[in-house]
Structure 1
């Protein structure tokens, strides 16, 4: 992403040892969607393409491995979940696991901005989320990698397992 690239370039050219950890969209972003529980819907800025959502626990496991073992210098780990899903497909998984209808509302950028600001999200964060949505609206976040299982020895958390794990918040 353009926001991170200058920092990565500076680090890579610094002469220091480095490893890049680049997680895809966090599964935990869904935990901020109280409307899943309250009204069986969730909204984000409109993205129609699939995304390989990744769990922050998996990100932490990779980071711990990178920091505590050898062999990661000058490597880039693009962290993803095990499968890419569109938001509509994610809504179907929510419906199946939670046992109630859940639907996705993809909001145009300006509506999304107003909704996110009204929830108290800082403007910088809102603008960044919309920038990411624009970048991935029609594709670019669907790649699935082995960057979680290769260094950790365990599979990345799948979407349905994430929903089951957080049923008390989501359901």
Structure 2
């Protein structure tokens, strides 16, 4: 597919960087990858990491800054940021894509279960999905679940012998960020995805006990699973700098996991990836140094 310009909104985050990495491996030199970020510093970091890409600075709170970013853009992948204004940011980006007139396909990063709108994060992302569906653009929703990479945030506890993860006896299928990036790149560089919603999970359902056992085996040190109370989890999140709205949203998500409302393995990820998804054991072995 020649002379395509793909705009990545939210390019400096983990998912954005993983997607650019996968696209750079795939894209021909005739295609342009344009990374939209919030600061010159982020732009410089991405340019250093990926010299072949373009960068552009945008402010999703100021729609007028999007006009230049969309010049000649044929495909968009939007990854909404961890901000309370997710819904408005999505609307601004989608409206700008419509106004550009050149966008053939808009891939929207979303969350597993968004269609139910049962928790805050689901409602935020589903608002963006609905706005996109009503925009007249060809759309695809990429709905992902809790990341394996999130366990870097639990690394200190794991090092000290405890996985403090408040999902009680529930289970979920954690997903690898590099896999998400590759899946997104595959969607952006192949056809047949218009007006589809993909639910992407990891390859295996794991309880907290299962996860602790994996960390134990890989690190060679005993790691016990402890499920804190909601109050303890909230205090922990707030003490590490999480804003109140986001911490409350995470508590809602943990309750979904605790009650097995997301205890599902979807086939979509492996089909889109074209290879087996990364297991938590694989991820931990590759990044063992972070957990010992």
TM range (shorter): over 0.9
Task: Find the counterpart in structure 1 of residue 279 from structure 2.
Answer: 158
Cα contact 1:81–1:157 (8 A) shared by 2: yes
Query: In structure 1, how many angstroms separate the alpha carbons of the residues matched to 2:290 and 2:208?
Result: 19
Residue 2 of structure 1 deviates from its aligned partner by: 2.8
Task: Find the counterpart in structure 1 of residue 158 from structure 2.
Answer: 36
Residue 14 of structure 1 deviates from its aligned partner by: 2.0
Task: Find the counterpart in structure 1 of residue 213 from structure 2.
Answer: 92
* Higher normalized strand content (fraction of residues): 2
Task: Find the counterpart in structure 1 of residue 224 from structure 2.
Answer: 103
Relative to structure 2, which stretch is displaced further, 79-88 or 146-155? 146-155
Task: Find the counterpart in structure 1 of residue 25 from structure 2.
Answer: none
With the length of structure 2 as denominator, give the TM-score of the two structures. 0.56
Residue 58 of structure 1 deviates from its aligned partner by: 0.7
Task: Find the counterpart in structure 2 of residue 79 from structure 1.
Answer: 200
Cα contact 2:167–2:257 (8 A) shared by 1: no
Unaligned runs of 5+ in 2: 1-121
Query: In structure 1, how many angstroms separate the alpha carbons of the residues matched to 2:188 and 2:130?
Result: 20
Larger RCO, structures 1/2 (Cα 8 Å, 6+ apart): 1
Cα contact 1:148–1:154 (8 A) shared by 2: no
**After TM superposition, what 4+ stretches of structure 1 lie above 3 angstroms from structure 2?**
none
Residues 1-171 of structure 1 aligned to structure 2 (within 5 Å)? 1-33=122-154, 34-37=156-159, 39-171=160-292
Larger radius of gyration: 2
Cα contact 1:58–1:156 (8 A) shared by 2: yes
Query: In structure 2, how many angstroms separate the alpha carbons of the residues matched to 1:129 and 1:22?
Result: 17
What's the Cα RMSD here?
A: 1.4
Residue correspondences, number: 170
Residue 144 of structure 1 deviates from its aligned partner by: 0.9
